[in-house]
Chain A
Amino acid sequence: DAKTTQPTSMDCAEGRAANLPCNHSTISGNEYVYWYRQIHSQGPQYIIHGLKNNETNEMASLIITEDRKSSTLILPHATLRDTAVYYCIVTDSWGKLQFGAGTQVVVTP
């Protein structure tokens, strides 16, 4: 079973920020939080990952709570091309990824 819980789906208006929550209450100290997304019929695309600190790159920001039991992926200005399934994954350092069902995000005009 996946170690994370995500909402099944969410909608977001184009141009607005999309905030995707993820619960990982059983995360252990050496496990990272990874986010991937998968656009229909394509392979998963890496977005961002973190251990304890908040992280930001050109695609998104990752906010991890102090107790590390949950996190939020933020897409600052959603576009129609951000419509995808977003996966939150918790993994130890060797990198085997266990995908859950993810969150289907639909960005609407």
Chain B
Amino acid sequence: DTGVSQDPRHKITKRGQNVTFRCDPISEHNRLYWYRQTLGQGPEFLTYFQNEAQLEKSRLLSDRFSAERPKGSFSTLEIQRTEQGDSAMYLCASSLATGNTIYFGEGSWLTVV
């Protein structure tokens, strides 16, 4: 499968714990995006990278959230001190460059209990 890959697909964690999600974009896609989606809502933009540079962060990305793309390939999204409000599906997407179609992964579901 050459699509966007996300891991883990499901994560249940206790409030206050840290969690990390990994995203492997489509090969050679230099842009990588993170979105968040809560039940009944459309996806919301969080941040994006061009190669290893993080070029924009949404105000939704609080200080407890950090995203990295150290070598311009895979990316990680870490949430520290999780809260119940962080429960959502975290979507990763990638594209070749500006003006090109964005392709999404299957998402990583987070449940904070």
User: Which residues of chain B are within 8 angstroms of A43 by Cβ–Cβ distance?
Assistant: 4, 91, 93, 104-107
**Chain B binder among A16-24, A44-52, A59-67, A74-82:** A44-52
Docked complex Cα distance between A99 and B107 (Å): 16
| Cβ–Cβ contact A95 & B100, under 8 A | yes
User: Which residues of chain B are within 8 angstroms of A98 by Cβ–Cβ distance?
Assistant: 45
B2 within 8 A of A: no
User: Which residues of chain B are within 8 angstroms of A97 by Cβ–Cβ distance?
Assistant: 35, 43, 45, 102
Residue tally, chain B, CB below 8 Å to A? 24
A-B contacts counted at CB < 8 A amount to 50
Given A42-B107, A43-B91, A43-B107, check contact A49 B101 (CB 8 Å).
yes
Residue of A nearest to B55 (CB): A94
Interface string of A72-109 (1 = CB under 8 A from B): 00000000000001010000011111111110000000
Min CB distance B84 to A, Å, is: 20
B31 within 8 A of A: yes
User: Which residues of chain B are within 8 angstroms of A87 by Cβ–Cβ distance?
Assistant: 42
Min CB distance A2 to B, Å, is: 8
| Cβ–Cβ contact B102 & A46, under 8 A | yes
- Of B4, B41, B102, most buried by chain A (CB within 10 Å of CB) is B102
Given A42-B106, A42-B107, A43-B104, check contact A93 B99 (CB 8 Å).
yes
Q: Which of B35, B91, B102 contacts A95 (CB 8 A)?
A: B102
Q: List 28 A-B contacts (CB under 8 A).
A: A34-B101, A42-B107, A43-B104, A43-B106, A43-B107, A44-B104, A46-B103, A49-B101, A85-B42, A87-B42, A93-B99, A95-B31, A95-B95, A95-B99, A95-B102, A96-B33, A96-B45, A96-B48, A97-B35, A97-B43, A97-B45, A97-B102, A98-B45, A99-B42, A99-B43, A99-B44, A101-B41, A101-B42
Question: What are the 9 A-B residue pairs with the smallest beta carbon separation, nearest first?
Answer: A99-B42, A43-B104, A93-B99, A94-B98, A44-B104, A43-B106, A43-B107, A99-B43, A43-B105
A interface residues with partner B (beta carbon < 8 Å):
2, 34, 36, 41-46, 49, 85, 87, 93-102
